[in-house]
Amino acid sequence: MAPMLLVVAEVADGQLTKLSAEIATLAAGLAASSGGSALGLVVDGAPDTAAAELAAYLPRVVSVSSAAAADEAWAPHAAAEARRLADEGVTHVLAGVTNDGRDVAGLLCGALGWGVLANASGAAWADGQLVVEAMVLAGKAITRSTVDGPAAIVTVRSGAMDAAERGTPGAVEVREPLGAPLVPAPRVLDRVAEAGAEASLEEAKIVVVGGRGVGGPEGFALVDELASLLGGVTGASRAAVDAGWIPYARQIGQTGKVVRPALYLSLGVSGAMQHRAGMQGSQTVIAINRDPDAPVGEIADLFVIGDLFEVGPALAAEIRTRRGA
């Protein structure tokens, strides 16, 4: 039986998340290389925009407008719709490595009895089985895993691949919601935006990161200034977060967010292995550090050895000059 891959997409502020676009690209490639098919699922209070966006990556998208999914915990509703599609022939479900994506995977694992391959950083077919790569030990090693049988659930990390639109947009099929979640869904009483979470680190093309070397919360003024000048988003090392200088939402690394920007610029970050786990997929890495032996120098495309309080302001001034501002 040819595989049928389902992407359970996520929506943020009415738009398809970057991670979902990446997973859709992965699924389309896996479908093409197996002679199978791929489709997407969008479940949201207002799914139209995200469904149209997802159709740029997949030939078929099922769009479910569900007020309940917006008012209650999303995953039980999304999982119910995904199970319906599993009943219609889906063999592999792909969701994001996010709180909601993990919940969907767990719920479907219970409902369908399919195995879960977690934290994929890549996937390919081998002898008809889906084999998933996952980074372990903070990116020092990669495992390759599969589950026996024709069906599986996979959670995919951010940055597993670049999102690439298809030539022709796919068809969007609008469906009525099932009405009942897979398991009783908690009702959300209140939503409070996490401080510092307004700009998405994972979606950013430019990330400017401050570490312990910035010396205190006031040091992040320079990091924020550079991020703003470059049109990027501020990130941080765990040392800076643990010190209380910046919210956890900004942390990059093994126990923080995974970023894969076109440009990663760090100030006063040593480049510990747990930090690298969250940024080693960056396309270009520029690091400013006064220690020539800092490990970040091993992975930097441009390693600026100097005091960040001299180099940073000089860089900001140069950007302003070149912009004529």
Ligand X SMILES: Cc1cc2nc3c(=O)[nH]c(=O)nc-3n(C[C@H](O)[C@H](O)[C@H](O)COP(=O)(O)OP(=O)(O)OC[C@H]3O[C@@H](n4cnc5c(N)ncnc54)[C@H](O)[C@@H]3O)c2cc1C
CB-nearer residue toward ligand X: 171 or 221: 221
- Dist CA 290 CA 59 (whole Å): 51
Task: Output the six-digit token pair for 126.
Answer: 């081998």
Residue nearest ligand X (C-beta atom):
253
CB-nearer residue toward ligand X: 21 or 227: 227
291 binds ligand X (CB under 6 A): yes
Stretch that binds ligand X, among 39-47, 58-66, 76-84, 238-246 (CB under 6 A): 238-246
Q: Are 40 and 77 in contact (CB under 8 A)?
A: no
> Residue 40 — φ and ψ, nearest 5°?
-120, 160
From candidates 170, 253, 261, 281, binder to ligand X by CB under 6 A: 253
CB-nearer residue toward ligand X: 170 or 213: 213
From candidates 17, 251, 280, 282, binder to ligand X by CB under 6 A: 251
Half-sphere exposure of 28 (CA within 13 A, CB side): 25
Q: Is 100 exposed, middle or buried (0-12, 13-18, 19+ CB in 10 A)?
A: middle
170 binds ligand X (CB under 6 A): no
Stretch that binds ligand X, among 5-13, 118-126, 151-159, 287-295 (CB under 6 A): 287-295
Stretch that binds ligand X, among 121-129, 165-173, 222-230, 303-311 (CB under 6 A): 303-311
65 binds ligand X (CB under 6 A): no
From candidates 84, 166, 205, 290, binder to ligand X by CB under 6 A: 290
Q: How many other C-beta atoms are found inside a 10 Å radius of the C-beta of residue 200? A: 16
The distance in angstroms from the start CA to the end CA of the chain is 61
From candidates 54, 156, 240, 286, binder to ligand X by CB under 6 A: 240
From candidates 256, 280, 286, 315, binder to ligand X by CB under 6 A: 256
Site string for ligand X, 194-233 (x = CB under 6 A): -----------------xxx--------------------
DSSP code string of 37-98? EEEEEEEESS-HHHHHHHTTT-SEEEEEE-HHHHHB-HHHHHHHHHHHHHHTT--EEEEESS
Classified as helix, coil or strand, 265 is strand
Residue 68 CB partners (closer than 8 Å, separation 6+): 77, 177, 179, 181, 185
For the segment 306-325, give every residue that binds ligand X (CB under 6 A): 307-309
269 binds ligand X (CB under 6 A): yes
For the segment 32-61, give every residue that binds ligand X (CB under 6 A): none
From candidates 121, 254, 280, 282, binder to ligand X by CB under 6 A: 254
Buried residues in 135-174 as b, exposed as e (16+ CB within 10 A): beebbeeeeebbbeeebbbbbbbbbbbebeeeeebbebee
CB-nearer residue toward ligand X: 173 or 291: 291
CB-nearer residue toward ligand X: 4 or 241: 241
77 binds ligand X (CB under 6 A): no
CB-nearer residue toward ligand X: 60 or 290: 290
Distance of CA 66 to the CA centre of its chain: 24
Q: Is 207 exposed, middle or buried (0-12, 13-18, 19+ CB in 10 A)?
A: buried
Q: Which 8-state DSSP code applies to residue 243? A: T
Stretch that binds ligand X, among 6-14, 31-39, 99-107, 274-282 (CB under 6 A): 274-282
Q: Binding residues for ligand X, per CB under 6 A?
A: 211-213, 237-240, 251-256, 268-270, 272, 274-275, 278, 288-291, 294, 307-309
